[in-house]
Chain A
Amino acid sequence: MPRKDILRLSVPYLQVLDEKGKADKELEPDLPPEELVRLYRAMVLSREGDQRMLNLQRQGRIGTFPPGVGQEAAFCAPTLALKKKDWFVGAFREPGARMMRGENLARALLLYNGFEEGNVAPEGCERTLPVSIIVGAQTLHAVGIAYAMKYKGEKDTAVLVFFGDGATSEGDFYEALNFASLWEAPVVFLCQNNQYAISVPRSRQTRSRTLAQKALAQDVPCIQVDGNDALGMYSAAAEALEMARSGGGPTLIEAVTYRLLMHTTADDPGKYRSKEEEEEWRKKDPIPRFRIYLEGKGLWNSRKEEALRAEVKETLDAEVRAFESMKDFQPDAPFDYVFGTPHPWIEAQRAEFLAELEKERSENA
């Protein structure tokens, strides 16, 4: 018998809004004007929030953090497609998306100022997981949550999990795809391929021509999307989430985007990439592109832009004030949360800690 192909696989690509802000009429999602404006605001708030945090970081008022500048479409647009009862499982570079889920900048500032209190999300964020720093690990949590939704009969509920291009080299990512596929878990894997895992470029991460194709080995459907195209990102995520909610199982979306700033504020991109490259990607900035689209639809103009910028500034001012007013941190809180049951060994160490702290303070007074 001659050799023959037993399997041919392909990876679709989606771009709705081109780099000039022109939408493909056939692919344009049917989003009401207020949702489009909500998405634009989220992206602007994310960008301005990052800028505010950069300023605070440079003043030494918060520690290291990972800005999301340049990737706002990739994380905000899919989040627009989430329902409240869906789960949001983030990595660490989705700031505006977190705010869309009801978290706020004050908490983020607290987190990046070194306090777990920043992860105590406001009411209504029960299904938004905190920042996950170990690369790729959260993909498995998402699959477990998705299985739990299925097991509990919570139909019409999906899980959206974010991770980066670097995570596609982690074992957990492959294991998560495999388990999700086997369990037909209602989960959408969203890879923000921002071209760099700190300094390691996409070209040194893998020889695979796309990251999306990594799902195909598990028979998980995939799509590569222009990650700086808010409409493309929304459409791909909305479709994948709807498929997950209706029992169709997982999808992998690769968002091709670019981290315009540093990995974290402790990083210097000048060490591993050129200004020219950064400039090329600046031309593809998702925010102006989306604004042109909104203007074209008659939904936006410079007056509205000015009003939005003023409102965002005011919101962020209030958040920074709220953050700066949060000062009373219980020193021994970590002892409260080792276990859910009290234990004499832990309590004895708490007493020792408090006594030592008191001695330190009086000696240094």
Chain B
Amino acid sequence: MPKLNMVQAINLGLSQEMERDETVLVLGEDVGVDGGVFRVTDGLLEKFGPSRVMDTPIAESAVMGTAVGMALAGLKPVGEMQFSGFSYLMIPQLEGHAARFRSRTHGRLTVPLVIRMPYGGGVRALEHHSESREATYAHFPGVKVVIPSGPRNARALITAAIRDPDPVVFMEPKRSYRAFREEVPAEPEVMEIGKARVVREGKDLTLVAWGAMMRPALHAAEEVEKKRGASVEVIDLLTISPMDSGTIAASVKKTGRCVVVQEAPRNLGISSEITARLNDEVLLYLEAPVKRVTGYDVVTPYFGRETMYLPTEGRIRRGIEETLDF
């Protein structure tokens, strides 16, 4: 199996789906000749030509709105928002139309499309290039929100997203794009959307994370084990909406303690929703309050301060220890 980074892995998934299904096409700013500013679509133009790999004007609403039309007419568009910070311009088309056609027409018309966007901090980028706004998209019924954490699941999830019958917001943690490599099977691999995955087994505490937070979370889990012998079960959420809270609840029933890590601001975040669901489903199993290790409710600071504001391995470890010691 070749070892790929996340950029190459998503590229592989896109390329294989385009080979498999000629209704799949890619559109967005700089996705063609430039191969995307992060090179996720590199080489696709040469392979599939300009009618399937479309450099569009800078108009996020139009990328989304025309993708809705294409999907209504039987194509499977994969649109790219260059950065999630610019994606809000397409929200009226996503919330107003992509999310609604199935319900609006009771299934007569559907909008199977994917909108990819790099998101999250940690790459010392300019303003609007570092936010984590997955909760914003997760709040729209009818929209699926998926966040991979590594090359292998990124490839399997982009494949699933393209084959999915619904609009999928596919958020790519840009800090993880080239941070590490994994073996990715050459044959197409599909991961079910709507399912979380236990990536490390443990019995004393459940640690939930997603995206770029997975790596510091796993490191923190190992460190706690080394330091005090506590075993931490780690769950990779993978699908933000519709969320697989069942897997988390089953784990917390076993461990009695839970820490949720998110890069995004705390207020109304995914970690808050997980906490609420655990209260609903496993309150009597909880030995300690659910701890949220999150970003702060401030406007995302410029990158000079960003390392102070992003959850770190240390903050996660302290959150775990505080919960274990409660």
Contact = CB atoms under 8 A, between A and B. Distances in A.
Given A137-B96, A137-B97, A120 B106 contact: yes
B69 A140 contact: yes
A143 B70 CA distance: 8
Interface in B242-271: 242-246
B314 interface: no
Q: How large is the interface on B (under 10, 10 to 19, 20 to 34, 35 or more residues)?
A: 35 or more
Given A147-B69, A179-B57, A179-B59, A341 B51 contact: no
B51 A151 contact: yes
A227 B77 CA distance: 36
Contacts of A172: 61-62, 65, 92-93
Interface centre among B67, B73, B193, B194 (most CB of A within 10 A): B73
Interface stretch (B107-115, B119-127, B170-178, B295-303): B107-115
B96 A151 contact: no
A339 B142 contact: yes
Contacts, number: 142
Contacts of B65: 137, 139-141, 143-144, 172, 175-176
Contacts of A129: 72, 109
Contact of A144 (B59, B69, B105, B107): B69
Nearest to B193: A341
Interface in B127-178: 141-142, 144, 164-166
A339 B245 contact: no
A147 B52 CA distance: 11
A90 to B, nearest CB: 13
Contacts of A179: 56-57, 59, 62, 66
A144 B70 contact: yes
A140 B61 contact: yes
Given A134-B92, A175-B62, A341 B165 contact: yes
B86 to A, nearest CB: 14
Contacts of A175: 57, 59, 61-62, 65
A120 B108 contact: yes
A340 B59 CA distance: 29
Interface stretch (A46-54, A208-216, A329-337): A329-337
A339 B167 CA distance: 9
Contacts of A145: 69-70, 72-73
Nearest to B66: A144
Nearest to B242: A343
B230 interface: no
A338 B106 CA distance: 9
B72 A144 contact: yes
Contacts of A87: 73
A292 to B, nearest CB: 40
A314 B110 CA distance: 35
Contact of A339 (B61, B93, B242): B242
Contacts of B108: 119-121
Nearest to B73: A148
Interface centre among A87, A149, A341 (most CB of B within 10 A): A341
A152 B107 CA distance: 23
B103 interface: yes
A140 B165 CA distance: 21
Nearest to B74: A148
B25 A151 contact: yes
A190 interface: no
B75 interface: yes
Interface string A125-159: 00001101010010111111111110110000000
Interface of B: 25, 51, 56-57, 59, 61-62, 64-75, 77, 92-93, 96-97, 102-110, 112, 141-142, 144, 164-166, 193-194, 242-246
5 contacts: A140-B61, A140-B93, A143-B69, A146-B69, A179-B66
Interface of A: 87, 116-117, 119-121, 129-130, 132, 134, 137, 139-149, 151-152, 171-172, 175-176, 178-179, 182, 333-334, 336-341, 343-346
